[in-house]
Chains A and B, each alone.
Chain A
């Protein structure tokens, strides 16, 4: 296929091909990894890997060239011409002078002790120290008890529904549910005012209230990092080398059982095992700052904001 007329065609084809392949490995792969992971830092191609690829490519090329007399001749033609001085004396001497220097430079760069950052692959959802007892935990805020519904109905009757302190903020705004313009709440209140209590509606209205409250807690506590819409893009996120998780990405909270998410929120970055680089994690230890019930309420909203549901725990046969 290669043109034999030009005589040296094989040489140029070979150098250009090798050049392109090496450039692809050196720049293409990091670019691709940045594009896939969406992070600023590429997954680095380790130096040894780069070295091996180079050797493989050079060896392959050598085998190809030496497979046939004509390719050898075609490949060597331009090189021979240089050595014979076909391109002029000046060019001959320049090539003869530059080649050893370049070779010396590369050998020096290669043998000189270089400082290389160690590369570890991070495990995002480690299970090595995840306590088994969390595995089957269910969010207690998902299913209100009868007592809780009764309490809610009574509070609604007195027009003083209770919110967490962080949310009602010294009773400034959140003292009832009248401001919640959601179907179940407005229907429930309308019925209540006309003198009937619908327990089914009450339960739905209570869930709306909890979801709203969870959203408020999320916006106060989690939003600075995880973002107003759960995209991992909060106003503080840019400064952390380990980016806060984007909850809307598949493979994050949707692949986890609720108990796992609960455990991560409770214990934060410092409780991660070494394979998950806890030293880079900005995730706070929320058991210091939020009660257990507040954390479950936040989780209700977290999944809702991200538009995903938790994985169901597997039924363990006993």
Chain B
């Protein structure tokens, strides 16, 4: 019996120790020293030598790297306006902040990231950078809040960890209820009715550092900075995001409603296809230029991911157009594309370009995906919001300016609409033209296709634009009569075989029966 108790004890003690080993590392002088080295080697280029958020990389980034001297942190499990717990910081550094330059430093996901010990060390170091000498006295203890001595309360500012339970499962009712909460709590004033970050106040928001800031486009799951799962979303609007206009709703919305709201926000996230081949659908009716034409709803498209031009100067990492949904239809003589992308603000400088090689080679060879090269020119169809027309251009490499084609060679037509934060643009041309500088759409092959996009309100201009790599457009040839003939022959052959086998095997049976 004693042995039994002893072994239970050993088990309990070792498991407690194992758990403790996984959590915080004790703050020692040594760890702080290590933290400083890690900070200088890994973080200072963005966050600045003294934590001012002003390293040499900072000026290229939006959002800017955080200024650690001001004690403002977005991703917390603590009440609005207070500091994050050490574990909150640990989570941020391990996970990174998606959609920003702040990447994950977890050595489990990145071989040369930071070990747990190193991450704790650097956290303790950034806490020493605060302008507030009392930073390290900020404690998570109710005792100080309840203290009678006002000095106590002032010195030891009170942080309360918000109680965050795991969310109940999602049902149709919770989502419907969440939608009502979204409306009642007026999330749409910033995030827009459909959640595309295009509410009426969206354009006027500023953050703590007086820089313009945009409400999240809630339909893009990959852009959630603090994680896109229901629990993360719940935490974000429960605690708010310090330093940003994103408020805390912990007191204004009840917990049950907040869970429903989190499920609703999660349901706004749209799925993205990973296909790299766009198959154009052959139709017989005349092709529409109207983006809202019913024809489009029956066509399957693909999603094209765009990234910033970081290839040629001036480079641009702060893009907003990172996804375009594209569809294509064609007839015997025409082809039309419809491109749709989310854009918070309609702007005169909004521009989108479709790019094709002028000449298609039989093999893999293509022009460079960023606007071709000297030996391989590309043909661009550029739609501009200010003119609301599509121009045909050529380019011979990203170092050379675009060349607009002669008026008589301009034969792409188009139309566009902007509805509730979505641009929808149709571009249409005849399959074949007699212009040497145009791409020709011969059926029965793959034609490379790429996109360039500019968001005017985001300051995109020139080479500061969104770009995509090559995708492929597929135009199926109509099946020749011969194919139908061969298939019919096969059907007849199989029927003949069936008749023969049936008769033979049924006869076998009768013979056996007789025998």
Give me the interface of A with B, judged by CB distance under 8 Å: 40-41, 80, 83-85, 96, 99-101, 103-105, 107-108, 111-113, 115, 117-118, 120, 166-169, 172-174, 179-182, 212, 215-216, 219-220, 223-225, 227-231, 233-242, 248, 269-270, 274, 277-280, 282, 284, 288-289, 305-307
Bound CA span A91–B263, Å: 49
B37 at the interface (CB under 8 A from A): yes
With A115-B476, A179-B40, A233-B110 given, is the CB distance from A104 to B490 under 8 Å?
Answer: yes
What 6 A-B pairs come out closest when comparing CB atoms? A239-B307, A108-B487, A107-B490, A241-B469, A104-B491, A219-B45
The listed residue (B55, B103, B477, B506) touching A84 by CB distance below 8 A is B506
Interchain CB contact under 8 A, A233 and B103: yes
Report the interface size class on chain B. Answer: 35 or more
Interchain CB contact under 8 A, A282 and B311: yes
Chain B residue nearest to A282 (CB atoms) is B311
With A103-B490, A108-B479, A215-B41 given, is the CB distance from A278 to B276 under 8 Å?
Answer: no
Bound CA span A131–B101, Å: 36
**Residues of chain A lying within 8 A (CB to CB) of residue B445:** 115
Chain A residue nearest to B101 (CB atoms) is A235
Bound CA span A182–B41, Å: 10
Interchain CB contact under 8 A, A216 and B45: yes
B386 at the interface (CB under 8 A from A): no
B313 at the interface (CB under 8 A from A): yes
**Residues of chain B lying within 8 A (CB to CB) of residue A111:** 482-483, 486-487
With A108-B486, A236-B310 given, is the CB distance from A220 to B479 under 8 Å?
Answer: no
**Residues of chain B lying within 8 A (CB to CB) of residue A172:** 54, 56
Interchain CB contact under 8 A, A228 and B477: no
**Residues of chain A lying within 8 A (CB to CB) of residue B84:** none
The listed residue (B311, B322, B482, B486) touching A284 by CB distance below 8 A is B311
Chain B residue nearest to A277 (CB atoms) is B364
Bound CA span A100–B489, Å: 10
Bound CA span A280–B312, Å: 15
Bound CA span A235–B502, Å: 66
| B75-123 with Cβ < 8 A to chain A | 99-101, 103, 105, 110-113
| B274-325 with Cβ < 8 A to chain A | 274, 276-277, 305-308, 310-313, 315, 317, 322
Give me the interface of B with A, judged by CB distance under 8 Å: 33, 36-37, 40-42, 44-46, 48-50, 54-57, 59-60, 99-101, 103, 105, 110-113, 274, 276-277, 305-308, 310-313, 315, 317, 322, 362-370, 373, 376, 444-446, 467-470, 472, 474-477, 479-480, 482-484, 486-488, 490-492, 494-495, 498, 501-502, 505-506, 509
**Residues of chain A lying within 8 A (CB to CB) of residue B59:** 169
Number of A-B contacts (CB under 8 A): 200
**Residues of chain B lying within 8 A (CB to CB) of residue A234:** 103
Interchain CB contact under 8 A, A306 and B307: no
**Residues of chain B lying within 8 A (CB to CB) of residue A96:** 498, 502
Interchain CB contact under 8 A, B468 and A239: yes
With A40-B274, A306-B112 given, is the CB distance from A105 to B487 under 8 Å?
Answer: yes
Bound CA span A169–B46, Å: 12
> What is the CB-to-nearest-CB distance from A222 to chain B, in angstroms, rounded to a whole number?
10
Interchain CB contact under 8 A, B486 and A248: no
Chain B residue nearest to A225 (CB atoms) is B310
Chain A residue nearest to B490 (CB atoms) is A107
Further pairs besides A173-B54, A231-B110: 6, Cβ < 8 Å: A108-B483, A169-B59, A172-B56, A215-B45, A240-B469, A241-B276
The listed residue (A83, A216, A238) touching B505 by CB distance below 8 A is A83
Interchain CB contact under 8 A, A235 and B472: no
**Residues of chain A lying within 8 A (CB to CB) of residue B308:** 224, 236, 239
With A108-B479, A235-B317, A236-B307 given, is the CB distance from A219 to B490 under 8 Å?
Answer: no
Interchain CB contact under 8 A, A113 and B479: yes
> What is the CB-to-nearest-CB distance from A94 to chain B, in angstroms, rounded to a whole number?
12
The listed residue (A80, A219, A279) touching B470 by CB distance below 8 A is A279
Bound CA span A118–B363, Å: 7
**Residues of chain A lying within 8 A (CB to CB) of residue B274:** 40
> What is the CB-to-nearest-CB distance from B296 to chain A, in angstroms, rounded to a whole number?
23
> What is the CB-to-nearest-CB distance from B458 to chain A, in angstroms, rounded to a whole number?
16
**Residues of chain A lying within 8 A (CB to CB) of residue B55:** 173, 216
**Residues of chain A lying within 8 A (CB to CB) of residue B57:** 216, 219-220, 223
Among A115, A166, A307, find the residue whose CB has the most chain B CB atoms closer than 10 A: A115
> What is the CB-to-nearest-CB distance from A217 to chain B, in angstroms, rounded to a whole number?
9
The listed residue (B112, B363, B376) touching A230 by CB distance below 8 A is B112
Interchain CB contact under 8 A, A173 and B110: no
Chain B residue nearest to A305 (CB atoms) is B112
With A212-B40, A228-B103 given, is the CB distance from A279 to B467 under 8 Å?
Answer: no
Interchain CB contact under 8 A, B482 and A100: no
**Residues of chain B lying within 8 A (CB to CB) of residue A216:** 45, 55-57
**Residues of chain B lying within 8 A (CB to CB) of residue A231:** 110-113
Interchain CB contact under 8 A, B444 and A248: no
With A103-B491, A103-B494, A238-B305 given, is the CB distance from A219 to B367 under 8 Å?
Answer: no
Interchain CB contact under 8 A, B487 and A173: no
